[in-house]
C-alpha cells in the first residue's frame, strides 16, 4: 500500500478563504479584529515564526500589533503587559510568544490572558471547556490536527485512536477532543512500555513527540491514518550517508516529522507529510481562533462563533 498524502496546505488555504470572507463581513459590524503579540527579548527563530503569523493575519484583514518587551523584565512586568491587552477593547486576541526567559512560569503567565482573548487556547478555563465537551478557544495545533483528520472523511466515532505525546498544548487536548467525538483513545507517552503494541491496533495514530523516526511502518496496522505533528530539524545526507554542507561549510538540514516516512508511507492508508501537513493548518487555526475570540467579545452585536470541529 502507498499512503495518500494529506494536503495540509490546501486545507489551510480553504480555511483562510472562508475566514477572509468572514472577517470582511464582520468588519461592517464590529471594530477590526486585532491580535497583540507579546514578545520578550530577541529570539531569531521565534521572530521568523511571529513574522509568519503577522503576514497570515494581515492577509485576512486581521490587525497585528507587536508588544516588544526587553529581555530583562520580570514576570510581573510581563503580566502587566498582558493585563493592558486584556483591558484594551481594541485588542481582541493575545499571543504570548515562547520561549519566555528562564525563570518565568509559562503556565502562570498564560493563565493571565483573558479566556475570551486567549487565541492560543492555553488558559485553564479554555482547557476545562475542552474536558467538559464544550470547547471554546482550543490550542491551535490540537484543533488543527483534528481538522486534518476530519478533512480526510474519517469519522472518529467508534475508532481506536492512539495519541503519542501527552503535552498540555498538543497531546492532551487532542485526546479529549477525540473522546468528545466518541473515539476510543489510548494516550502513549515517555513512560509507555511498548509503543508498537498500541499503535499496531489503531485505526488512527496521532504523533506529537519531537523524535524523528519514532513511528515506523512495521508498528502500524495496514491502511491506518497517521497524523504526524512532530517538527524536527535533521542533517541532510547524501547517498552514502555523509552530511551535506552549505557554501559556508555548515551542515545542511531538513525538516521531518516523528514518523519514518519511507516505511510508514508503505503501510498507512493516509499520512500527513512534514512539512506541508499539520503545520499550515495550525497557522490557519490561530486565525480562526482570532475570529472566534472577536465574536465572543462582541456577542451582543454578532452571532456567536461556530465552534463545531467541522466548521471551515
CB of 143 to ligand NAD, least distance (A): 11
Q: Among 97, 141, 186, 199, which residue interacts with ligand NAD (rule: CB under 6 A)?
A: 141
Least distance from ligand NAD to the Cβ atom of residue 304, Å? 26
- Residue 189 binds to ligand NAD (criterion: CB under 6 A): yes
Smallest Cα–Cα separation from 147: which of 2, 294, 7?
A: 7
Binding ligand NAD by CB under 6 A: which of 53, 282, 288, 297?
A: 282
From residue 84 to residue 123, what is the string marking binding to ligand NAD with x (rule CB under 6 A)? ----------------------------------------
By CB under 6 A, tell whether 200 contacts ligand NAD. Answer: no
Minimum CB distance to ligand NAD smaller for 189 or for 221: 189
Classify residue 4 as left (phi > 0), alpha (psi -120 to 50) or beta: beta
Our finding on whether 270 is near ligand NAD (CB under 6 A) is no
Binding mask of the shown chain, residues 146 to 165, with x at each position contacting ligand NAD by CB under 6 A: ------------------xx
Residues interacting with ligand NAD, by CB under 6 A?
141, 164-167, 169-171, 188-190, 192, 195, 208-211, 229-232, 278-279, 282
Amino acid at each position: 500500500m502507498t499512503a495518500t498524502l494529506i494536503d495540509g496546505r490546501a486545507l489551510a488555504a480553504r480555511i483562510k478563504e472562508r475566514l477572509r470572507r468572514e472577517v470582511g463581513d464582520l468588519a461592517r459590524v464590529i471594530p477590526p479584529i486585532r491580535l497583540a503579540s507579546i514578545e520578550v527579548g530577541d529570539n531569531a527563530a521565534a521572530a521568523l515564526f511571529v513574522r509568519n503569523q503577522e503576514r497570515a493575519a494581515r492577509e485576512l484583514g486581521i490587525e497585528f500589533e507587536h508588544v516588544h518587551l526587553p529581555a530583562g523584565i520580570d514576570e510581573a512586568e510581563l503580566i502587566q503587559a498582558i493585563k493592558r491587552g486584556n483591558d484594551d477593547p481594541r485588542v481582541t486576541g493575545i499571543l504570548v510568544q515562547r520561549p519566555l526567559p528562564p525563570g518565568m512560569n509559562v503556565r502562570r503567565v498564560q493563565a493571565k490572558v483573558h479566556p475570551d482573548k486567549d487565541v492560543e487556547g492555553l488558559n485553564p478555563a479554555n482547557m476545562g471547556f475542552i474536558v467538559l465537551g464544550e470547547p471554546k478557544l482550543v490550542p491551535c495545533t490540537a484543533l488543527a490536527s483534528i481538522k486534518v483528520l476530519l478533512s480526510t472523511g474519517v469519522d472518529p466515532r467508534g475508532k481506536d485512536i492512539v495519541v503519542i505525546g501527552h503535552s498540555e498544548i498538543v497531546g492532551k487536548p487532542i485526546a479529549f477532543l477525540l473522546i468528545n467525538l466518541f473515539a476510543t483513545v489510548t494516550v502513549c507517552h515517555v513512560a509507555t512500555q511498548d509503543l508498537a503494541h498500541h499503535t499496531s491496533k489503531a485505526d488512527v495514530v496521532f504523533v506529537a513527540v519531537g523524535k524523528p523516526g519514532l513511528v515506523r511502518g512495521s508498528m502500524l496496522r495496514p491502511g491506518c491514518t497517521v497524523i504526524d505533528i512532530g517538527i524536527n530539524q535533521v542533517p541532510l545526507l547524501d547517498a552514502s550517508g555523509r552530511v551535506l554542507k552549505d557554501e559556508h561549510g555548515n551542515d545542511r538540514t531538513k525538516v521531518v516529522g516523528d514518523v519514518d516516512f519511507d516505511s510508514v508511507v508503505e503501510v498507512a492508508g493516509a499520512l500527513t507529510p512534514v512539512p506541508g501537513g499539520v503545520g499550515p493548518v495550525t497557522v490557519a487555526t490561530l486565525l480562526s481562533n482570532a475570529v472566534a475570540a472577536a465574536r465572543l467579545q462582541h456577542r451582543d452585536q454578532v452571532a456567536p462563533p461556530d465552534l463545531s470541529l467541522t466548521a471551515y
